[in-house]
Amino acid sequence: MISEKKYFPSTIHLFQNIAILIPAFNPDDKLVILIKELIELGVENIIVVDDGSKKQCSYIFKNIKKFSQCNVIEHAVNLGKGRALKTGVNYFLNNYKKFIGLITVDADGQHKCEDIIKVAKCLKENQHSLILGTRNFNKGMPFRSWFGNLITAKIFTFFSGINISDTQTGLRGIPYNYLPFMLKVSGEKYEFEMNVLLECSQRDIYIKEVAIKTIYIEKNKSSHFNPLLDSIRIYVVFLKFIFSSFASFFVDMSSFIVLTKLFLILIPGYFIILSTIGSRIISSAFNYIINNKTVFCLQNTNRNSIIRYYILATVQMLLSALGVSLIYNQIHQGEVFIKIIVDLMLFFGSFKVQRNWVFKLE
């Protein structure tokens, strides 16, 4: 147990207006130890969400309920980490009106009190930033953690343009004013934490990282993260974009093939440019509807997003037409194959532009 002399005098005022939120699913005794250590630090407001844990864990929650500083909220069945966090955030917003924010902590004992203190201090000093306690990953880390964090961080950076070294950290300091919109972020399981970061990037919320210790207890056996299923959930926004792009690409190519045959007869000198423009008008309308409603999940069609989308579509269309024409004029064959290559090259920048500009929240 942490020494009271070492921590309490310097942290007695630190947590007066900061609450701790701990989502817990089938925890062990490490959760009780964590609660005791937090109380020693002077934490007076701890929210624990029992996310439908098995009956064998009931004694743990009974012990926790004995502490006056701890409020336990129960899910009748397991609903996932994302839903547990939303439940805790909703409780916090209803009961802690004058607090500056809360800190989320995992229940498996991998977040040490000294790191929680770091995040609390950073939250107090940066009340307009999302604070992430980020770990330093190395070759000795368990596979599921390497796969679920390091790779995801690289993909997140590529698509969002924000360099975050640990997208799946559960140790986060969240200012009060940012909590309401988080209740509306999609995701019920591990993907929720990734979606929160994506939402913050859309809202231009600064994300600040605080270095914490990398700790894996019993090779991270207590983690409920499924490397395959939960990674798919995390990547779902990217997968939906890829699917919508390929569907739109199919519509675009089908229209292009039909229009080239038509314009080759009617206006042979400009048949590629006219076919490209015509096919892009058809496919862009299809693509906008899918991305607006399914990929970026905007509830209502926004006039500004339509204008921005068609600015992007026009630029892409002109670049595609110009690129295909230049290459075709050199080799005089294979216009369909040329278009596939050119549009594939344009694809990679499209997600970032749509995420950060076209469908950006206003």
Task: Read off the pTM.
Answer: 0.69
d(CA 313, CA 322): 14
User: Domains in the chain, ordered, with CATH?
Assistant: 4-234 (3.90.550.10), 238-358 (no CATH)
Tokens representing 163 are: 């360099």
d(CA 326, CA 318): 12
Q: pLDDT in tens for each of the 362 residues of the chain?
A: 444 444 555 676 889 899 999 999 999 999 999 999 999 988 999 999 999 999 999 999 999 999 999 999 999 999 999 999 999 999 999 999 889 999 999 998 888 899 999 999 999 999 999 999 988 766 555 665 566 566 777 777 766 667 888 887 899 999 999 999 999 888 888 778 888 887 887 788 899 999 988 765 555 454 545 555 555 655 666 677 677 777 887 888 888 888 888 888 877 777 777 887 888 788 877 877 776 666 655 544 566 777 887 788 788 778 888 888 888 888 877 777 887 788 777 776 676 677 667 666 55
Please name the residues in contact with 94: beta carbons below 8 A apart, sequence gap of 6 or more. none
Burial of 142 per CB tally in 10 Å (0-12, 13-18, 19+): middle
At residue 133, φ and ψ (nearest 5 deg) are -85, 105
Tokens representing 123 are: 């939250």
What is the sign of the dihedral through the CA atoms of 52, 58, 62 and 67? negative
d(CA 267, CA 274): 9
Tokens representing 38 are: 């937090």
